[in-house]
Structure 1
Amino acid sequence: MKAFKLYSFLAIIILLSSCSSNDDNDNNNANSLAGFTTRDNCPELPIGPTSAYWEYAKGNPIPLNQLPVLQNPQAAFSYAHSNRNLPPLTLTPPQGYQAIDYINPNTNPFGVNMIRNDGAVVWRYVPISTYPVNFSDSNILDTEVNNVTSAFGFNGNYNVLCEATPIVFSENGITRIFRARMIEFNNTIALIWIAATYVESLFTVSVASSVSAGPSNEYASLVMDIFLPMSFQLYPSGSSPLSDRDNDGTPDIFDPEPDNPNVK
């Protein structure tokens, strides 16, 4: 886990240091990820922003000249958790999108579902949800993927554009597993990742997850204009959305005492 923390910290430093701090050049150095290729053996994954977003989702730095920001924001919305000890999640969605609480009676999630008005684009961030402990990380990822395809009304076989090798960290009776999959179905591309935390003696699994889905022919522009800017809103204090310093299953940004494993 210490190695993971160090890696995440270095990735953030490299990523942010690649962003221009010169205000005079901001307008001339717009981010361009054209030609970017993934490190994975995924020949069907589109080159450019889609491949870059795949690497970014796995925690790898990507070449940015400036911080991604929304060009057409609407008013900020706050989403409160039923556990009042957790601070609300506040995000600024773009115009033309509706942001609502993500509801799933099977996993009791706390998160945001942001949907374009035509229903063709979904960006979802769920920092906390729960699964039965008998669900493996593979079961959880498959369930989240099936939730996406079902929401789009697709019941067939999807095409896997890329799947990440599971990243596993174990320490002091706590196991954390990160998995990601990018799929294509019905002219829609979707990136789904999950981070499942298993704690010995507990009967549930704490899961963070995210979805970024949209039309295949728009996906590259959605990455640049919507998905990356929304993802960067999850860095309120420069930390990773997956950071959990005390390994208690609650992401640091929602943990009132992020260094105390006895307080969630």
Structure 2
Amino acid sequence: MEKQMLKGKVALITGASYGMGQTMAELFAEEGAAVALTARGRETLDSVVEGIREKGGRAIGVTADVCSKEDTRRVFEETVKAFGTLDILINNAGIGEQKMIDETEDDWMLYVMNTNLGGPMRYIKEALKIFLPKNDGVIINISSVNGARPFCGATYTSTKGALNTLTKNVAMRLVDTNIRCNAVAPGATVTPAHLANKKGEQPGGAKMLEYSGHYVYFPGPECDPMDQAYACLYLASKMGRHVKGQVLQVCNGAFL
């Protein structure tokens, strides 16, 4: 049996009931990590946890909303209760949307910002309560190519640009520690959210794609969720031990 790259580690992954989050959780469990998964939907979350356990992995699921401070504290409490500590945080939960700026209402803007940026900030703050005392830990934020090339909804793209900045800011704060913070910026990846976007089914529909659609559809193959999971594995394992404050773009060259 090949050596597991994350043996003995504990990882917390938000938004892990489907798509990239699910794939990350399954890969990390295969690589030896105990995984704590969060999502808002209990049924789908339980299904992923059960699938990991059936393959011999260690996993728990905690139903939670990243917008809730109370839920956030509970997620960390249950993770530590189940596994004793935390070593890796992946901020994957987020909302995709295509609302143009002139269609963006305040309530929607604040909701997306609270989820896509507020959520990672809350989770990083809680994780550091564990990471700083032991001077060790990994933080991975799931951003987007939209963080640098903002072709989707006005609020979504703004939060991803801010998440890239937050990644570097946190890395600067932790530069003299053994805690590293990086981001993965997926391009077009075959997930339910991406497929809905291509059909114009995300909030805001397809109107924004009339202006930016040529950025979205690249003639080469789209990425698979595993491509993003592999990037996270690199950053979470000893392979990425000296990588700090970077945004690793995984897009098959579609957004160079």
- Both structures adopt the same fold (TM-score exceeding 0.5): no
Structure with greater helix share of residues: 2
TM-score between both structures, scaled by the size of structure 1: 0.31
TM-score normalised by L of structure 2 = 0.32
Which of the two has greater strand per residue? 1
